[in-house]
Amino acid sequence: MLVSSTFRRVLSQSHHWNRVQNMTSQSSDLAKVLDGNALSKSIREDVAQHIQATQQKYPRFRPQLAVVQAGERPDSTTYIRMKARAAEQVGIQFKHIQVSSEATAEDIVKTVQELNADEAVNGILVQLPLGDAISSAGERLVTEAVSPQKDVDGFHAYNIGHLSSRAADPLFAPCTPSAVMRLLESSGVTIAGSTSVVLGRSDIVGSPVASMLRNADATVTQCHSRTKNIERIIKTADIVVAAIGKAEFIKGAWLKPGAVVIDVGINYVPDETKKTGQRLVGDVEYSAASQVASHITPVPGGVGPMTVAMLMHNTYQAAQRQWDAARSRKVKPLKLKLLEKVPSDIEIAMAQTPKPVAELAQEIGILPSELESYGKYKAKVDLSILERLSHRKDGKYIVVSGITPTPLGEGKSTTTIGLAQALGAELGRPSFACVRQPSQGPTFGIKGGAAGGGYSQVIPMDEFNLHLTGDIHAVTAANNLLAAALDARIFHEATQSDKALYSRLVPSKKGKREFASLMFKRLNKLGIDKTNPDDLTPEEIKRFARLDVDLETITWNRVMDTNDRFLRKITIGQNATEQGHERVTGFDIAVASECMAILALTTSLEDMQQRLGAMVVATSKSGDPITADDIGVSGALAVLLKDAIKPNLMQTIEGTPVFVHAGPFANIAHGNSSILADRVALKLAGTEEGDSSERVGYVLTEGGFGADMGMEKFCNIKCRVSGLNPDATVIVATTRALKMHGGGPDVTPGKPLHETYTKEDLVTLKEGCANLKQHIKNCKKFGVKVIVAINQFASDTNAELALVREEALSAGADGALVSNHWAQGGAGAKALAEAVVGICEGESGFKFLYDLNLSIEEKINIIGKEIYGADGIQLSDLAKQQVDTYTRQGYSALPICMAKTQYSFSHDPKLKNVPSGFTLPIRAVRLSAGAGFLYPILGDMQTMPGLGTRPGFWEVGLDKETGRVIGLF
């Protein structure tokens, strides 16, 4: 039997459907009765078997059908009950949504759109009619609101249109027409070449059946109640499909002997012998027709049960299709136009047109409801995605770090982006880069941006480096609100009595005083278990109202996101209104704020507020820590950061996804992008139970500066909080930095490079490889695989690149690859990507460097000796005092975040390569109680950078004609 592709798709997708063919039962008449009950049972059993087979491999496969009903029409309710029973029998979850009979078409459309967005719902059926209040145009509006991918009824214009076209297949054929075709198949009739007559022209049955018969190569005549000579036309038909809606309209004498008759009609006629007073009949005079036809369907028991069975088939098919699509999403790469002479970063970025961020989100599996667009090319991702994808096994987790860099940087961000492009665009694997948001300090200063460079960068790079979605501004606002609140509290305590202070803190409103909710934290801390403000004793009032700040212990500075050296130390309170309450303080750069460190380490909104409240800003005169909760500001800080907590989605220049979130300094804070961005990426790159290892994706998260800083802090701080274990670390190395460590001249921004760096020098290079070897050795102490990425420069010779690779492998690296992603994009990092895939197979052997229960001094000493190679540490008197204070206050079990120069393993930037024989001087130890670490300060570290003589802002401007940013790197 020859059938079209449409018919074949409707009839079957596997051999399971074949056994239903030729199922008939013999009646006492000449015609064979096509038993819809028996056939539908067989179809439902096959659907159930398909679902069970899929669930054995993928337990989370749960097809779901949603039916929308307006009002409570008894007949509609009966039909819905039938569908619900059938769904239960085959293992399909059933969702019945009832809306008011007064609901407008627009109301129902809104309900349908919500179901479209619900990925748990695979099929949507709108039970017609919708009621007298909704016109036929309104019904069409509702049915066309159903997503074509979930239109299991097959009524959407997309599916009807494709059904009518010889050049296309619909996603779904309507259920009743599909039932007709299945019954015809069971009769054994040859459809191709037959003469077929369809009576009826409705969009639900008549017209779709006519299309399906034509697609199956039948010669089709479509009739209706006003067709002339209808009896003569029917007499020529080998196949008759009656869907005209008139009781027993077609007489037996009209039929061609041996014709196959499919009766779709549902009509009630008077019958006094029945309890109801009526009888159900079809459009065909059954008693007479069965004497002429070769096969005929009864009413009831023919097309009706088959329609429900085909609905179950369509719903299963929808679920399977959506399941496969969700697991096989692919990012469509953007093509690169590589130039032999690589232009500036901004020129490359401006030459590429990014894809809309909504399109990128759809490609990687983010739902529209989870995306908050900020313009066309960047968006925030709602944290609800973590709950939706919580069942997934995480993808592979790789931290990208580097050797000890030169002031020019060694392309760690560029390598992160290039490797992500190679994995995603070249190898077709799910791939995510997670990087920090750059501060405007370096952007307008001397270092430049952090978007990568060349043909491996994040776009739009101007938006990436300037403002983005305002997260740094939110951090600045939160930090400075706390600073203002602290100074205001000090002033008010100094100028008011205990009673006046308490009265203003807990004012009477309409004759009643109540504690603010945050005040109970302070009461608890003080051991006061009273809930009525009027019950406190004078002594308790004093303890509650007075923070009694020791001004010499204040550690909280104001911040701004600009390099401004003259704000490092300032005097505040000089105006007469402050009544002589002056004090010396200073500014840090915004990304050095503890609020930023918290943003990067937090795991939820609730966790963030708790961390913000736990921040210690000073010590009281009695030696107790004073927190943001004590000042009463933590709720407001959380409000300022409630949007900043959501990761930002952008893209590489090849259109692969990048999460940009948080930007803590690596030489002051922990120097890593956010845990939340990593978690979201790991779930999007993750796999379902039953997936093969070939489906696993890769998340590349960047640790700031060398592996002795960003990577060490990633492991000992970030991984402790997140509970995530890295599978490998990538160490980025360049011949330039290695030659500098081997004794080459200083590398200074703005000055031409010495010829040592532009010509082959194997002796100096080999000497400097000791720095790379030490980083490899350090990373191995954490139990992870180590891959060295040799970031190729145009002046590098083959001999130099081969030497670095040999030295890396001899030091124990699991892989060492040359990568030319700066000049070639993802294609230039393809070999590196293939090595990452191979090396990351298997489970992680990750471990921490030290036990948190060791003393503060012991933990600092372990890092100094094991990672930096120091002989030991030496605490200043101030540092000893601070260590004693933090130990007494209960903070000794926190991890350590070393604040030191990035240009040396040691505290001294002049000590290159792998220095030895030195002692680490610990100038001070500060507490970030909210972020959850202690940070010893080594040497002359500054928390507010300064501008050089020739800052980068000289080059930055706007194109007068286009308004585009120019001169930005």
What DSSP line would sit under 162-219, residue for residue?
HHT-TT---S---HHHHHHHHHHHHHT---TT-EEEEE---TTTHHHHHHHHHHTT-E
- The DSSP letter of residue 292 is T
Q: Are 455 and 425 in contact (CB under 8 A)?
A: no
Radius of gyration of the chain (CA): 36
Is there a cis peptide before residue 460, judged by omega within 30 degrees of 0? Answer: yes
Strands 508-509 and 512-513: antiparallel
Give Dmax over CA atoms of the chain in angstroms. Answer: 113
How large is the angle between the packed helices 74-90 and 36-57, nearest 10 degrees?
50
Instruction: Give dist(CA 734, CA 736) in Å, integer.
Output: 5
Chain-centroid distance of CA 100 in Å reads 36
- How far, CA to CA in Å, does 283 sit from each of 169, 250, 303, 620? 30, 6, 12, 92
Task: From the candidates 83, 396, 785, 859, give the one annotated as an active-site residue.
Answer: 83
Q: Burial level of 447, CB count in 10 A (0-12/13-18/19+)?
A: middle
Residue 812 corresponds to which tokens in the numbers above? 């124990």
The three-state secondary structure class of 440 is helix
Torsion angles phi and psi, residue 296, rounded to 5: -155, 150
Return d(Cα 847, Cα 898) in angstroms, integer: 19
Active site residue 739: no
| Residues 53 and 104 sit within 8 Å (Cβ to Cβ) | no
Check if 727 is active-site: no
Task: Report whether the peptide linkage leading into residue 300 is cis, meaning its omega lies within 30 degrees of zero.
Answer: yes
Q: Which residues contact 343 (CB under 8 A, 6 or more apart)?
A: 351
Helical (H) or strand (E) element with 261: strand 260-263
The rounded Cα 629 to chain-centroid distance in angstroms is: 32
Tokens of 307: 């329609």
**Active-site residue (options: 127, 222, 651, 882):** 127
> What is the rounded distance in angstroms from the CA atom of residue 573 to the CA atom of residue 164?
80
For residue 640, what are its two tokens?
């300022």
- Cβ proximity of 809 and 672 under 8 Å: no
247, 267 Cβ separation under 8 angstroms: yes
Range list of β-strands (E), 792-856? 815-819
* 46, 151, 153, 629: the active-site residue: 153
Nearest to 31 by CA among 235, 263, 266, 305: 263
Q: Which amino acid is at 18?
A: N
Which residues are bridge partners to 401 per DSSP? Answer: 731
Is 317 an active-site residue? no
Q: Are 498 and 538 a contacting pair, CB within 8 Å?
A: yes
Q: Hunting for tokens 């975040």 — which residue is that? A: 897
Tokens of 612: 């913000």
Kindly write down the DSSP assignment for every residue of 754-787, as one continuous string. PGGGTS--HHHHHHHHHHHHHHHHHHHTTT-EEE
Nearest CA to 571 out of 499, 475, 487, 497 is that of: 487
Rounded Cα–Cα distance for residues 907 and 262 (Å): 89
Q: What is the DSSP letter of 509?
A: E
Encoded amino acid at 406, one letter: T
Is 430:395 a contact under the CB 8 Å cutoff?
yes
Q: If we measure between CA atoms, which residue out of 703, 639, 635, 625 comes closest to residue 671?
A: 703
Under 8 Å between Cβ of 262 and 200: no
Q: List the catalytic residues.
A: 83, 127, 153
